């Protein structure tokens, strides 16, 4: 598996394909996505006034997202990224709709099987797996495994002999609010060698995957990554190995605010990029959407625990909520993901600047300090706020009992 491939030739062929697809992208329209309709959730909250903090998820929005994504990318098989929200209600609904599943652990494989998914519809997409978990997946019939290193490939060969494998490549992913361009993936040169090596280890070299970063707001980012994948296909073919599948990862956005292109714009950009790189010989395509599928389906209701000021001179109020970083809002890290936050009920008072923080005794439990949030100046303890598009990466980030607070409760309607 020694690397003896020329990097220069990769850059040249990749750049040509991207230039080609970008030309067409420049004239493509990317209309703004409409805000999702949360009226069922709001009606539920008004009628039940659940104890806070509480996330309410509308399963019909999840189903709608699944349908919209299928329509935008008809050639792609959807593997829902279970990590975004593994609630049985969501998995059941997606099994009924015919979805496949991208899993990160033996635990997620068990959850998906319990929802009735067939093993043939499950991919073990984590590139970092324990031998016992690989063996478990193999024993229950999972046959599709990700890797990005020789050591992982050897583990898969030993514990899941004969399985289909795909190699994750590193891609740049500019424009993503939650970048994934460091920890996972390997250089395309290495990927090509490893996939050729996979065949020698008795595995089936199936394809290439990448992830252009989560909440990726630039549909053109898939173009470069698809061209890199094609380069790997070509190098493998030169060594007698035919690859069949490209996994386009996740990255499709939730509607946290304005400026989010529609899913149709992503479908169009990806379609053009696939044509530019692969021409008539299109590969099998899979996608692994997480945030897009469930983010907009959730609204989190929280109670204001305290409103205070730090000094007589500081006119920014501190608003402490009963949910924070340890209660499920870990993705406020860096303040790039900015949830829409609105008070429950009308207020005639003018809006004024606030710092938003969680309820724990941990000084890291500050949600938004620099993002410039404002809330009505008459906000006080006991008032409720709603955080929109909070259906993804919240419940499972919630600590079990940090500071004695219960994990985030979720209701699925």
Ligand X SMILES: Cc1ncc(COP(=O)(O)O)c(C=O)c1O
> Which listed range, 14-22, 190-198, 282-290, 329-337, lies at the site for ligand X (CB under 6 A)?
282-290
The residue within the footprint of ligand X, chosen from 214, 255, 262, 394 (CB under 6 A), is 214
Which residue, 10 or 211, is less far from ligand X as judged by CB?
211
As measured in angstroms, the least distance from the Cβ of 4 to ligand X is 29
Sign of the dihedral through C-alpha 193, 199, 203, 206:
positive
Which residue, 288 or 303, is less far from ligand X as judged by CB?
288
As measured in angstroms, the least distance from the Cβ of 250 to ligand X is 2
The residue within the footprint of ligand X, chosen from 197, 249, 267, 376 (CB under 6 A), is 249
Which residue, 44 or 210, is less far from ligand X as judged by CB?
210
Which residue, 160 or 379, is less far from ligand X as judged by CB?
160
Which residue, 251 or 358, is less far from ligand X as judged by CB?
251
As measured in angstroms, the least distance from the Cβ of 85 to ligand X is 10
DSSP secondary structure letters along 347-407 = --SPEEEEEEE-SSS-TT-EEESSS--EEETT--TT-EEEEES--SSSGGGS-SSGGGPPP
Cα 76-79-80 angle, rounded to 5 deg: 125
**Footprint (CB under 6 A) of ligand X, residues 175-194:** 180
Interaction mask 110-139, ligand X, x per CB under 6 A: ---------------x--------------
As measured in angstroms, the least distance from the Cβ of 212 to ligand X is 9
Which residue, 155 or 317, is less far from ligand X as judged by CB?
155
The residue within the footprint of ligand X, chosen from 10, 129, 206, 211 (CB under 6 A), is 211
Q: Are strands 409-412 and 245-247 parallel, antiparallel or unpaired?
A: unpaired
Q: Which of 178, 223, 130 is nearest to 338 (CA)?
A: 178
The residue within the footprint of ligand X, chosen from 33, 59, 84, 236 (CB under 6 A), is 84
Sign of the dihedral through C-alpha 396, 397, 403, 409:
negative
167 flagged as catalytic:
no
As measured in angstroms, the least distance from the Cβ of 350 to ligand X is 37
Q: Which residue has the tokens 């065949």?
A: 199
The residue within the footprint of ligand X, chosen from 228, 288, 322, 383 (CB under 6 A), is 288
H-only helix segments in 143-241: 150-159, 188-200, 221-238
**Rounded Cα gap, residues 135 and 353, in angstroms:** 54
State the CB neighbour count (10 A cutoff) for residue 121: 17
Q: How many helices (H) and strands (E) does the chain have?
A: 11, 19
Which residue, 188 or 289, is less far from ligand X as judged by CB?
289
As measured in angstroms, the least distance from the Cβ of 296 to ligand X is 12
The residue within the footprint of ligand X, chosen from 289, 298, 358, 376 (CB under 6 A), is 289
- For ligand X, which residue has the nearest CB? 250
Contacts of range 168-171, beta carbons closer than 8 Å, 24 or more positions apart: 168/127, 168/208, 168/209, 168/210, 168/211, 169/208, 169/209, 169/210, 169/225, 169/228, 169/229, 169/232, 170/210, 171/210, 171/211, 171/212, 171/221, 171/224, 171/225, 171/228
218: contact with ligand X by CB under 6 A: no
292: contact with ligand X by CB under 6 A: yes
- Among 54, 167, 186, 361, the one annotated catalytic: 361
Which region holds residue 328: left if phi is over 0, alpha if psi is between -120 and 50, else beta? left
Which residue, 293 or 323, is less far from ligand X as judged by CB?
293
Cβ proximity of 223 and 269 under 8 Å: yes
210: contact with ligand X by CB under 6 A: no
**Rounded Cα gap, residues 333 and 340, in angstroms:** 16
As measured in angstroms, the least distance from the Cβ of 366 to ligand X is 24
The residue within the footprint of ligand X, chosen from 290, 324, 358, 391 (CB under 6 A), is 290
Number of residues lying near ligand X (CB under 6 A): 16
**Rounded Cα gap, residues 152 and 102, in angstroms:** 18
Q: Which residues of 55-74 are buried (b: 16+ CB within 10 A; e: fewer)?
A: bbbbbebbbbbbebbbebbe
- Token code pair at residue 131: 């031998």
> Which listed range, 3-11, 137-145, 283-291, 343-351, lies at the site for ligand X (CB under 6 A)?
283-291
As measured in angstroms, the least distance from the Cβ of 367 to ligand X is 20
> Which listed range, 20-28, 109-117, 284-292, 383-391, lies at the site for ligand X (CB under 6 A)?
284-292
**Rounded Cα gap, residues 303 and 283, in angstroms:** 50
Residue ranges that bind ligand X, judged by CB under 6 A? 81, 84, 102, 125, 180, 211, 214, 249-252, 288-292
**Any idea which residues carry the catalytic annotation?**
361
């Amino acid at each position: 598996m020694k690397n003896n491939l020329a990097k220069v030739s990769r850059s040249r062929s990749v750049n040509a394909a991207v230039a080609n697809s970008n030309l067409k992208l420049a004239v493509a329209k990317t209309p703004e996505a409409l805000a999702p309709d949360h009226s069922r959730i709001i009606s539920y909250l008004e009628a039940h006034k659940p104890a806070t903090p509480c996330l309410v998820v509308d399963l019909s929005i999840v189903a709608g997202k699944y349908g919209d994504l299928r329509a935008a990318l008809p050639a792609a098989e959807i593997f829902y990224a279970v990590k975004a929200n593994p609630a049985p209600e969501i998995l059941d609904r997606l099994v009924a709709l015919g979805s496949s599943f991208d899993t990160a652990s033996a635990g997620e494989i068990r959850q998906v099987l319990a929802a009735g998914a067939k093993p043939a519809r499950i991919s073990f997409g984590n590139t970092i797996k324990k031998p016992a978990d690989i063996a478990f997946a193999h024993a229950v019939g999972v046959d599709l495994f990700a890797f990005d290193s020789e050591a992982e490939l050897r583990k898969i060969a030993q514990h899941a002999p004969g399985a289909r494998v795909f190699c994750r490549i590193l891609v740049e992913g500019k424009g993503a609010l939650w970048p994934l361009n460091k920890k996972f993936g390997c250089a395309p040169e290495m990927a090509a060698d490893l996939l050729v090596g996979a065949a020698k280890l008795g595995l089936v070299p199936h394809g290439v995957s990448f992830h252009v970063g989560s909440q990726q707001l630039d549909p053109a980012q898939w173009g470069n990554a698809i061209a890199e994948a094609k380069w790997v296909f070509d190098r493998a073919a030169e060594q007698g190995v035919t690859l069949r599948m490209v996994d386009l990862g996740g990255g499709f956005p939730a509607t946290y605010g304005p400026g989010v292109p529609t899913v149709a714009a992503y479908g169009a950009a990806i379609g053009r990029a696939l044509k530019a790189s692969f021409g008539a010989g299109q590969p099998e395509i899979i996608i692994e959407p997480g945030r897009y599928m469930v983010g907009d389906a959730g609204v989190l209701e929280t109670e204001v625990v305290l409103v205070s000021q730090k000094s007589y001179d500081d006119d920014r109020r501190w608003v402490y909520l009963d949910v924070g970083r340890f209660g499920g809002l870990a993705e406020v890290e860096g303040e790039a993901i900015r949830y829409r936050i609105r008070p429950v009920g009308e207020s005639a008072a003018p809006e004024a600047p606030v710092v938003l923080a969680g309820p724990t005794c941990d000084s890291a439990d500050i949600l938004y300090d620099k993002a410039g949030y404002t809330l009505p100046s008459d906000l006080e303890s006991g008032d409720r706020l709603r955080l929109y598009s909070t259906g993804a990466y919240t419940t499972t980030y919630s600590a079990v009992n940090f500071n004695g607070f219960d994990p985030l409760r979720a209701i699925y309607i």
